[in-house]
Amino acid sequence: MRRRELLGKCPVCGEGLDVTRLACRSCGTAIEGRFDTCKFCRLTPEHRAFVDVFIKSRGNIKEVEKELGISYPTVRNRLDAVIAALGYRVEESAAEQGDAGVQRKAIVEALARGEISADDAVKQLRAK
């Protein structure tokens, strides 16, 4: 029998779901009640996939960039989204605090990877 992954949110309204029955695969014992799922079970499949890559890469953002084929700012944004989804406060990044050097570096790196055009890079750099 194919096992399905536990849903973390209601597919109708989006609210959290309660687990109401647990069963032992070995002896068949069943326990009924209302049980909370873990906070990681409540993450979207996309968030869980990102966390999987992030942990496998030991938090090395360069490795996450490489494996997912995304830019540094995109990795940071996805990480911030996971942090918020887990219920933690998201700290402002250095870029949001006005660290123009970090922003410029991210723009130049995106240009080097071909993610943006030279014209877009110039526009973004002038805006900083």
Instruction: Give start and end residues of each alpha helix (H) in the chain.
Output: 45-56, 61-68, 72-85, 100-112, 118-127
The H or E element that residue 31 is part of is strand 30-35
Answer whether residue 95 shows pLDDT above 50. Answer: no
Task: Give me the phi and psi of 29, to 5 degrees please.
Answer: -60, 140
In whole angstroms, what is the distance from residue 57 CA to residue 108 CA?
Answer: 24
Amino acid identity at 5: E
Number of domains in the chain: 3
- Residue 31, strand partner residues: 22
Name the packing angle between helices 61-68 and 72-85 (round to 10°). Answer: 100
Task: For 64-94, write each residue's pLDDT tens digit.
Answer: 999 999 998 999 989 999 999 898 988 765 4
Domain that holds residue 108: 96-128
Is this prediction's pTM over 0.85? no
Position 24 scores a pLDDT of 94
60 — pLDDT class (breaks 50, 70, 90): very high
Q: Which residue has the tokens 């402002």?
A: 92
Amino acid identity at 21: R
Position 69 scores a pLDDT of 93
Q: Tell me: do 30 and 48 sit in the same domain.
A: no
Q: Tell me: do 85 and 47 sit in the same domain.
A: yes
